[in-house]
A and B are shown apart, each in its own frame.
Chain A
């Protein structure tokens, strides 16, 4: 059976300007056979929720490395979860979530309470790939949405133009 491609929405958090983590994730996820829409750095919660509604991605991956991730990602996840249409969408958070060099696991309870599905430690790409493979295996086959075919860059540009 051919599994359908997942449409993964990759985003930074509202206050995080880092880009390389997002660019790397995009390339790695594309090479793993997923379609990626990359919202880039400093994404306001409003744009994130609007994009989730518009593109209905299979999974949301939030990456943050500026130390504010433990609060920003929780707030963003709660904003996304506010809309019941996103109840089933996994939200995966990773990067460097605190300022003190503490493990991300310290922030897992608060993030999960806000609606995050999984919190990954820094650089744990293998676990992200495993989680996505599980999500893909569980997803109904041949249900590819129109959104999944939208080239990532074009989607981002279109959204920006619409604002």
Chain B
């Protein structure tokens, strides 16, 4: 893709938004600098409007740099790029003539304590990353929420500090993807917006809020409309865009099923007005995708985006957004949290302790763990138990969901797309 020089990730997305394009982005990380470079070059040269991704390995994510170093030294396979372990000059030369104004790159990691990663980015000159005090903490481990909040406060301050007017740092909230699946959309939207408010409070100049495709497109469109409305209401005048993730849960096993799910996410991105789409590959259920898998995925998504844009121009939407009061539910949770304390970090901590925010099936010790969700017969994701959330909904006395039911719900989307794919074969 092409963008005017000196604008970084934030500027590039503003350019594509102005041109009515949807940026497509893979999720990709390789331990070897040569492999990482080859992957970035292939994504840059793909027939699509792309930005690059460097996904870091799990050892770097949890701050276990000793294990990352050992793995690099002994050439043990890592599941991502060890940004804090390779010498900075190695990373700079890996990026040279790839990373630039025309091809911005986002660093993705999942760290609840991201200080070492943000510092490495600052040294190397990378300006975009992803995370948040809640979304990179609760689903991913045992780091106390209080620590994640203070670490992410410092990280946001550092991102604000390394920003210039020409090159504002960009931070995406992962709040719309909590646990990948089974989190009701109103809570996803609420957490994404609350993290966006947290970033803004710390002066991060360019923000994106995520939302992951769930179980029913009509509901996803309602969620994206609610997200957009809340951005307009609560983050006015700021540089904020929306990023949609292709389904993050159990992926279809068949190639046709996976492709159809990817296509559906591209349509949701277009009709939901997302500026960026993060894709999955057809190999998702089998192994860590390789470069060719990723290139195929971004190119396929790009074709479906263009096709959907034509459908939109012709006034032929494939779905009608549902009207289930999703905005009101999200807004109620956001307002309840904001009323707890003027500092968003403090407010978030209190909210999870009191169960005003509570992610279904989350095992983190700092959540109440009382909420449950389920896939309704019509395919919507709904509450099975709202715990202490400040919203109306079921609060059954008994055990809400068993292992077999959980498995079938976790596989609901995969099964739906695999069976449709089999039917047309």
Contacts and interface: CB of A to CB of B under 8 A. Distances in A.
A14 interface: yes
A15 interface: yes
Interface residues of A, number: 35
B140 interface: yes
Interface in A68-126: 68, 71, 98-101
A17 B139 CA distance: 7
Interface in A133-162: 153, 156-157, 159-161
Contacts of A41: 139-142, 363
A87 B313 CA distance: 68
Contact of B361 (A23, A66, A157): A23
Nearest to B79: A67
A67 B71 CA distance: 13
B410 A20 contact: yes
B67 interface: yes
Given A27-B406, A99-B77, A17 B67 contact: no
Interface string B103-142: 0000000100000000000000000000000000001111
A22 interface: yes
B403 interface: yes
A42 interface: yes
Interface in A6-22: 14-17, 19-20, 22
Interface stretch (B55-63, B199-207, B270-278, B300-308): B55-63
B62 A15 contact: yes
A143 B250 CA distance: 40
B62 A31 contact: no
B407 interface: yes
A28 interface: yes
Contacts, number: 92
A20 B366 CA distance: 18
A43 interface: yes
Contacts of B362: 19
B139 A28 contact: no
B368 to A, nearest CB: 10
Contacts of B336: none
A67 B77 CA distance: 9
B58 A22 contact: no
Nearest to A157: B365
Nearest to B31: A99
B81 to A, nearest CB: 14
A23 to B, nearest CB: 5
B364 interface: yes
Contacts of B179: 19-20
A66 B62 CA distance: 13
Interface string B376-414: 000000000000000000000000011100110010000
Contacts of A42: 62, 140-143
A159 B369 CA distance: 16
A44 B63 CA distance: 11
Interface string A49-68: 00000000000000000111
A22 B139 CA distance: 12
Contact of A23 (B64, B142, B406): B406
B422 interface: no
Interface residues of B, number: 38
B181 to A, nearest CB: 8
A156 B362 CA distance: 13
Contacts of A23: 361, 363, 406
Contacts of A16: 58
Interface string B63-94: 01001000100001111000000000000000
A150 to B, nearest CB: 14
A19 B144 contact: no
Contacts of A28: 403
A101 B110 CA distance: 23
Contacts of B140: 17, 41-42
B287 A66 contact: no
A3 interface: no
Given A43-B142, A160-B142, A15 B61 contact: yes
Contacts of A161: 365
Contact of A17 (B141, B286, B406): B141
B288 interface: yes
A111 B181 CA distance: 31
A151 B211 CA distance: 34
B406 A14 contact: no
8 contacts: A17-B110, A27-B406, A28-B403, A31-B402, A39-B142, A67-B288, A71-B71, A101-B286
Interface of B: 58-59, 61-62, 64, 67, 71, 76-79, 110, 139-144, 179-181, 250, 286-288, 361-366, 369, 401-403, 406-407, 410
Given A15-B62, A20-B250, A41-B363, 20 more contacts: A15-B67, A17-B110, A19-B361, A19-B363, A20-B179, A23-B363, A24-B403, A27-B402, A39-B142, A40-B141, A40-B142, A40-B364, A42-B62, A42-B142, A43-B142, A99-B79, A99-B287, A153-B369, A160-B142, A160-B144
Interface of A: 14-17, 19-20, 22-24, 27-28, 30-31, 38-44, 47, 66-68, 71, 98-101, 153, 156-157, 159-161
